[in-house]
Amino acid sequence: MRILIVAATSIEVAPVVATLREMSERGPRLTRYAHTAHDVDVLITGVGMVATAAWTSRVLALARYDVALNVGVCGSFDQALKPGAVVHVVTDRIAELGAEDGEAFLSIDELNLPAEYEFTNAAPPANAALRSLPEVSGITVNTIHGNERSIAAVIGRFKPQVESMEGAAFMQACLVHEVAFAEVRAVSNVVERRNRDAWKLADAIGVLGTTALSILDHA
C-alpha cells in the first residue's frame, strides 16, 4: 500500500517517523520511508492553509496513493476533549471565509459568492485504529483563537470541537484528487486566552505518533 502522511511541521510527525525505515528523498519536502509492506511518503508542508493546499495538491498530482493522512496537533473547544486526546476530524471548514459588516460576520453564502468552505469525509479509510477514534467537527483558521469574545463568536457560529491551521485545506486537496483520506489530530491545548504554560504539546505529539503508527499497522 502507498500511504502519504502530511504534516505542517516535522516536530508533529517526528515520533512516527522515528519508527519508519528511511528510503530516499522523493522531492521537495517529501521523503519516502518503508513500514512493513507499505511505502510511506512523508510530506512537510509548512504551517497554514495555503502551504498545505499547494504542497499536498502538488504531491497528489504527481503520484497515486491509496491513503492520505493528515496528522498534527489542534486546540479544543470541547470540554470533553482534554489535552492528549486524539480525534478523527470528519468535517472541517474554513471559518474566516466571509466578510465583516461592523460587528456582524457575513458568511460566503450571505455574500452570494461561489466558494468551497466546508468539507466532509464521507468515505474514510476502512481502518480499525481510525475507527476507534472519536469523530469530531473542526474549523481551519489563519489566526488561532485567543480572545474570549472571538472564541464565543466562533462557537456560536459553527459549534466546532477543534481548530487547526491546515485541516480543511488538506481535505479539499484530497477531495479534488479523489484519494481516500483522514485528518487525525491530537489536542495540545484548550482554546482560551493564550496560555502556553497550560499546553501539553509534547504529550500530544507523543500520543499522536503512537496513534499514527497504529493506523499504519492496521492499513
CATH assignment at residue 49: 3.40.50.1580
> What span, in angstroms and rounded, lies between the C-alpha atoms of 107 and 163?
18
What is the total count of domains within the chain? 1
Contact 44, 29 (CB under 8 A): yes
pLDDT at position 144 over 90? yes
What's the pLDDT band for 197 if we cut at 50, 70, 90?
confident
pLDDT at position 131 over 90? yes
What's the pLDDT band for 126 if we cut at 50, 70, 90?
very high
What value does the mean pLDDT of the chain take?
96
Helix (H, G, I), strand (E, B) or coil at 179: coil
Angle at 36 between CA 62 and CA 28, to 5 degrees: 30
pLDDT of residue 186: 98
What's the pLDDT band for 103 if we cut at 50, 70, 90?
confident
> What span, in angstroms and rounded, lies between the C-alpha atoms of 88 and 106?
29
Q: Give the total residue count for the chain.
A: 219
Q: What is the mean pLDDT of residues 125-138?
A: 97
- pLDDT tens, residue by residue, 9-66: 999 999 999 999 999 888 899 999 999 999 999 999 999 999 999 999 999 999 999 9
pLDDT at position 196 over 90? no
Matching residue, cell 469574545:
149
Helix (H, G, I), strand (E, B) or coil at 186: strand
> What span, in angstroms and rounded, lies between the C-alpha atoms of 119 and 144?
20
- Tell me the pairing of strands 38-44 and 2-7: parallel
> What span, in angstroms and rounded, lies between the C-alpha atoms of 29 and 56?
10
pLDDT at position 72 over 90? yes
- Tell me the pairing of strands 67-76 and 2-7: parallel
Q: Which three cell numbers stand for residue 147?
A: 480572545
Contacts of 139 by beta carbon, 8 Å cutoff, 6+ apart: 92, 93, 94, 95, 154, 158, 160, 162, 163, 168
Angle at 171 between CA 165 and CA 175, to 5 degrees: 160
What's the pLDDT band for 91 if we cut at 50, 70, 90?
very high
Q: Which three cell numbers stand for residue 78?
A: 470541547
Share of the chain residues as helix, strand and coil, in percent rounded to the nearest 5: 30, 35, 35
pLDDT of residue 78: 97
Domain encompassing residue 24? 2-217
First to last CA, the chain: 8
